[in-house]
Structure 1
Amino acid sequence: MNALSKASPVLRAGVISTAGLLGLSLFNPAYAHHPFGMGESTALTPWQGLLSGIGHPLLGPDHFLFLLAIAFIGLQRPRAWVIPLLAAGLGGSVLSQFIPLPEAVAPWAEALVSLSLVVEGLIALTVASTRWLLPLVALHGFLLGSTIVGAEPTPLLTYFLGLLIGQGALLLLVTSWSKSLLERLGSQGQRLGAGIWIGIGMAFAWVALID
């Protein structure tokens, strides 16, 4: 019996409970613009660009939960993933400056970002490979970079610096905490967390498409 079939009751419980708990809170669109009421990208100052870069991955629920889940998916050497994940995310953000995201495609792209939480749950269940983390974080980076297309060069650079600071700090925290968390959760708790993350990802993706 594989890991997914073993965890199926937990997955069902996680999906059902998560959908119920999030039902009232998921009416807000997951695709956010700049935090702190900063307005359009073209009007950002360098200081605002820095704050926006720090705040975006921490205030956007799908981005924040994606980074947070790295703590419990069971990486063998979690700290070794920090630099590759930051590099992949920054690469996605830079790519977004050359390939603008059409407005009509934005909900579908946001749904894919939300579904990355589902993939993380499958990684925690050892159903999917940990190698999926790099393209997934690049996808998150692409969406984060798309919010600042058209900005002046200096705010753009400070925004990218802010992304590195915000995401780097959170990744260092969750990877340092990962082994201790997994010891506390145990295998059953890890499967329950995976089921909850799968439920959250499915709920976010649904909201992104119907909003």
Structure 2
Amino acid sequence: MKQLMTLNDQSWKRLTFGLFTVLVLLTFAQPAAAHHPFGGETPSNLWQGFLSGLGHPVVGFDHLAFVIGSGLIAAKSKQGWLIPMGFIAATMLGTGVHLQEMNLPLLELVVSASVLAVGILLTVARPNEEEKSFPYTMVILLGSAIVGVFHGYAYGEAIIGAEMTPLIAYLAGFSLIQLTIALSSYKLAQTLLAQLSTPSLPLSRLIGCGIMGMGIVFLTSAI
């Protein structure tokens, strides 16, 4: 523990580069994994719908990175818990938009850019910065809700053609897993990361660097 707390700037740079490299490699590995649970088959019952909903935000690294990032940003904002809640509500709306066969333009670009944006916000934040103002939280909340519609639209692809029971279970599943991940990262940032972070090793910024790197790779692939 003491060694971690006394790392110098050079060590921090090495850790940043290491995390950045690992996350980029994971990003490149993403296409090898099924982006949809059950191999893309439409859920046919309640349990399949629920499990598919639980899996989609996790097997999609772009969605997972944004949800984790939203929780970390929320921990730095006044009443920041509103940020992931707004995002999750918007993903449900986005899935509904897809089910109504409405098209959203530049889907992959917006989703990729959202990952990059949340990484940048975490990276540029000052380690000892005072609690963000409520208007700042509202701006981030609005942005999260807008991109949440696009993330939810992507989720909707896995449930097209399903009946009402698996559809509702799918919505419940992806809402629950996103809420769990976001609140976990929120609490982690307020407790463990806050205790271990130092001016020379700001852990939230370190994670932000990794998320930003993923966003760059996602955005490059989407262009």
Q: TM-score range by the shorter chain?
A: 0.7 to 0.9
Q: Is the 8 A contact 2:91 2:153 kept in 1?
A: yes
Aligned partner of 2:81 in structure 1 is 79
Name the % identity. 29
Where in structure 2 are the equivalents of 1:4-153 lying within 5 Å?
18=20, 22-23=24-25, 26-29=28-31, 32-37=34-39, 39-41=40-42, 44-73=44-73, 74-101=76-103, 108-124=106-122, 125=124, 129-131=139-141, 132-153=143-164
Question: Gaps spanning 5+ residues in structure 2: where?
Answer: 1-11, 126-135
Give the structure-1-normalised TM-score.
0.74
**Residues 24 and 213 in structure 2, CA contact (< 8 A), matched pair in contact too:** no
Partners of 1:88 and 1:134 within 8 A in 2:
yes
In structure 1, C-alpha distance between the alignment counterparts of 2:23 and 2:36, rounded to whole Å: 27
Structure 1 segments, 4+ long, off by >4 Å, are 13-17, 30-33
1:119–1:15 Cα change, 3 Å: farther
The alpha carbon displacement at 1:182 in A equals 4.0
1:152-208 CA distances to partner (integer Å, 9 max, x unpaired)? 222111111111221122222222222222453346433333222111111122234
Determine if contact 2:58/2:64 at 8 Å carries over to the other structure.
yes
Q: Number of residue pairs matched?
A: 193
State the superposition RMSD in angstroms.
3.3
Q: Write the deviation string for residues 17-68 of structure 1: whole angstroms up to 9, x where unpaired.
A: 736863586154289553143x422x63222111100111122111111111
Q: Mapping of 1:123-202 within 5 angstroms?
A: 123-124=121-122, 125=124, 129-131=139-141, 132-180=143-191, 181-186=193-198, 188-202=202-216
Label 1:58 to 1:25 Cα distance change in 2 as closer, same or farther (>3 A). Answer: closer
In the superposition, the TM-score normalised over structure 2's length comes to: 0.70
Moved more, 50-59 or 164-173: 164-173
CA distance in 2, matches of 1:157, 1:24: 31
Matched to 1:114, the amino acid is S
